[in-house]
Homo-oligomer: A and B are copies of this chain.
Amino acid sequence: MSTKEDILNAAMAVFAEHGFHAGTVRDICDQAGANVAAVNYHFHDKTSLYAEVLQHAYRNAGIGEPMPLLADEPDHPAKQLGAWIAWYVRRLLHSGGTDVGRLMAREMAEPTEALDYLAKGAVQPVFMELGRLVDAACGGSLDERALKLQCVAIVGQCLVFHTGRAMLERLDPPHFGYEDADEIASHITKWALRSFDTSNVDAET
């Protein structure tokens, strides 16, 4: 493995652990077994290194299980939506402690230009696939606005186990961890499908 890759990996760990400003290039280089000047040789400066780290993290985030698509099971949209939710929850809970997840969380709290790229490249396609699945699962009965609300609601229920992890751990000792992924996913799925069954009848309000 080249020194450049070593630095990239070390930088990912350090930036995830301490953030951009608190993470020092000396720490990165020590952890990579390289000299201090290596960062400025291989990458132009610390900022450029950070940008490459984010792209590196984003590329490596997709590996693992492939995302369940509506096109894979066009005749069973509800089942496939459940698979998608399970996949997403597992991904979130798993990436909770990883560098990728922490880098993403940091970017959300303090967006840089790099977030634009991540949004367009990584999040947009995932979100759109969810839109297709929800639309199919409810039989196309939702208009665009309601569809978007449903998607955000599903994502929110999954995301809270990632973004709110620090708080959940401090609120209730038996918090939700990776081992609860399937239980959580089935709960969310059940809730989502139930709401579709009655989403066209607007009796109350």
- Contact partners of A109 in chain B: CB under 8 A: 102, 105-106, 108-109, 166
Q: Are B123 and A152 in contact (CB under 8 A)?
A: no
Q: From residue A34, how far is it (CB to closest CB) to chain B in Å?
A: 23
Residues of B within 8 A of A163 (CB): 108, 159, 163-164
A183 to B145: give the CA distance in the assembly, Å. Answer: 11
| Distance from A108 Cβ to chain B, minimum over Cβ atoms (Å) | 5
On whether the beta carbons of A110 and B115 are closer than 8 Å, the reply is no
Of the stretches A6-14, A49-57, A64-72, A191-199, the one at the interface is A191-199
Instruction: Give the chain B neighbours of A170 by CB distance below 8 A.
Output: 115-116, 119-120, 123
A63 beta carbon closer than 8 Å to chain B: no
- Taking CB atoms, residues of chain B closer than 8 Å to A124 are 171
Taken together as a complex, chains A and B put the C-alpha atoms of A133 and B109 apart, in Å, by 30
Does B108 contact A167, Cβ atoms closer than 8 Å? yes
Count of residues in A whose CB is under 8 Å from the partner chain: 52
Contact of A160 with B by CB under 8 A: yes
Does chain B have a CB within 8 A of A36?
A: no
A116: chain B residues within 8 A (beta carbon):
170
A116 nearest CB across to chain B (Å) = 6
A74 in contact (CB, < 8 A) = no
Instruction: From the candidates B160, B184, B193, B205, name the one contacting A160 in the complex (CB within 8 A).
Output: B160
Judged by a CB distance under 8 angstroms, whether A155 is at the interface is yes
Residues of A148-170 contacting chain B, CB below 8 A: 148-149, 152-153, 155-161, 163-164, 166-168, 170
Which residues of chain B come closer than 8 Å to A166, judged between CB atoms?
Answer: 107-109, 111, 115
Instruction: Render A175-205 as a binary contact track against B, CB cut-off 8 A, 1 for contact.
Output: 0100000011011101101110010000011
* CB neighbours of A188 from chain B (8 A): 153
Q: How far is the CA of A184 from the CA of B153 in the complex (A)?
A: 9
New contact pairs (4) apart from A21-B21, A108-B166, A152-B164, CB-CB < 8 Å: A108-B167, A156-B158, A156-B159, A157-B157
